[in-house]
Every structure is written in structure tokens, then in C-alpha cells.
Structure 1
């Protein structure tokens, strides 16, 4: 598995998310500032609602920009030199049924999923249950996750 290419794929996905958020923010701003949306009476709240939406979309743009910058600045080469899971690591997990799960241990954007070499790769962060469980672990280590009332077990098969 080529971690550099996976990293590039994640950056492309984050760039697309950022561009989508910018377009949504522009539409919300245009709606909020449109002269046709001026309140006609005290019960007409369309402009107020549109301004709240524009504010939320602007915040989303800022969050997407932070995610993108965090991944662009991530030193994946340094992660490759370590023998344990750290930021920038691509990790292959096996469950008890020997099913594979690829996760990229990233600084943000948890839950982002990309496909590479016909494999789904999901970003996990240190703050997520899986991210916390694999942090600083090595190949061969077994981890257990308690999700709800269910226990999920994995073995770290490889760290790229």
C-alpha cells in the first residue's frame, strides 16, 4: 500500500470538501443579503434565518480549511520511521474473522473515507475510540473497543 498516494488522495478529498463548503457559504451569503429577503413584518424571519445559515456555512469553511492545512502539513515520512502508530500512519487492522480494515491516523477530518487500490480507507483521529485504542501500538498488538454494549477486537497487522 502506497501511503504517499493515500495521503494525496485524502488531500484531494479534503480540497473537494473545502470547495463545496465555499460554494455553499457563497449561496447562503447571497440569500442572506438579497434585497428580496428583507423582512416585511416582525414575523418574517427569512433574512434572519438565512444569516444564521450563512454564519454556519462560514464556520464550516473555516473548519474545512483547518483540516486541509493539517493534512498538507502532516509529515508522513516521519511516521514511517516509527514502529508504532502515530499521526500520519496508515494502519491495517484484522478483526477476529480476518476481515481487513485500513485506517489513516490523521490529525483531523475523522470519518473521511477514500478508496485506494479498491480498498476503503477511513481517517481516524486521536480523539476517536479507535484512534485512542491504536495510538502508540505496534504490529501484532491486539486492541478491544467497547462500542455501546458490543466489544470489537482487532489486531494491528501492518503499519505503513
Structure 2
């Protein structure tokens, strides 16, 4: 699996998300400022609600822009066994039922599923609970994660 290819997929998806968010901002702003939506009484709140929506969409667009900037600057390094799993690692975990999952540890804002050939890869950040639990681990190590009332256990099968 190629980390550069995965990074390009993340950048493409984030760019598409940003385009959609910017379109939503414009639509909500137009609704908020349209002359037909001027409040005629205190119960007429369509314009106000659209303004709140426009603000929320603008914040979402800003967050996506920030994630794009982080992912553009991101340079995944080769795995160094002396440091264990770090930002940029491509990790294969296996659970007690022999179910494998591929994870790509990247900067914030890129949580998504990608395809690399026929292989599904989950992108997570180092700040995600599973990302934090994997940091510093090496092949063969156990990763344990508390989810609500149950504990999930994984073994690090491979790291690239």
C-alpha cells in the first residue's frame, strides 16, 4: 500500500468536502439575506435560522481548510521500529476473531475510509482513542481500547 496515494485520496476527499461546504455557506447566506425572509414579526425566524446555519457551515468550511493545510504539509515517514507506531504509520491490526483492519495514522481532520486496490483503509488521527492507544507500539504488541463498558483488544500484525 502506498502512503502517498492514500494521502492524495484524503486531499481529494477533503477538497470535495470543502467545495460542498462552501456551496452550503453560500446557499444559507442567500437564504438569510433574501428580501422575502425579512422577519415580519417576532415569530418569523426563517432568516435568523438561516443565518445561524450559514455561521455553522462557515465554521465547518474553516475546519476543512485547516485539515487540508495539515494534510498538504504532512510527510509520512517510513516506519522506524525503534520508535514504534508514529504519525504516518500504516498499521494492520487483528482482533480475537482474526478480523484484520488496515489503519493509516494521519493528521487531524482526515477521518475517513479509503480504498487501496481492493483493500479498505481507515484513516484516523493520533488524537483518536485508537490512534492514541497505538502510538509507540510495535509489531506483535497488543493494543487495548476501552469502549463504553467493553474492552477491545487487538494485536499489531504489520506496520509500514
Give the deviation of 1:145 after TM superposition.
Answer: 1.1
In structure 2, the partner of 1:122 is: 122
DSSP-derived class of the 1:80 partner: coil
Q: 2:73 & 2:127 partners in 1: Cα distance?
A: 19
Offset, 1:81: 4.6
Contact 2:91/2:156 (<8 A) preserved: yes
Q: Is the partner of 1:16 in helix, strand or coil?
A: helix
Counterpart for residue 151 of structure 2: 151
2:60 is matched with 60
Q: Map of 1:39-78 to 2, 5 A cutoff?
A: 39-76=39-76
Cα offset, 1:119, TM superposition: 2.0
- Answer yes or no: is the 8 Å Cα contact 1:31–1:37 preserved in 2: yes
Per-residue deviation at 1:109?
2.1
| 2:112 counterpart residue number | 112
Instruction: Point out the more displaced range, 89-98 or 60-69.
Output: 89-98
Give how far 1:10 is off. Answer: 1.3
Inter-partner Cα distance in structure 2 for 1:134 and 1:85: 6
TM-score, normalised with respect to structure 1: 0.92
Deviation track 1:23-59 (CA, whole Å, cap 9, x = no partner) reads 1111111111111111111211111111000000000
* Maintained 8 Å contact 2:90/2:105: yes
Report the number of matched residues. Answer: 158
Q: Check whether the contact 1:13–1:114 (CA below 8 A) recurs between aligned residues.
A: no
1:88 aligned partner:
88
5+ residue gaps, structure 2, are: none
How many angstroms apart in 2 are the aligned matches of 1:20 and 1:141? 41
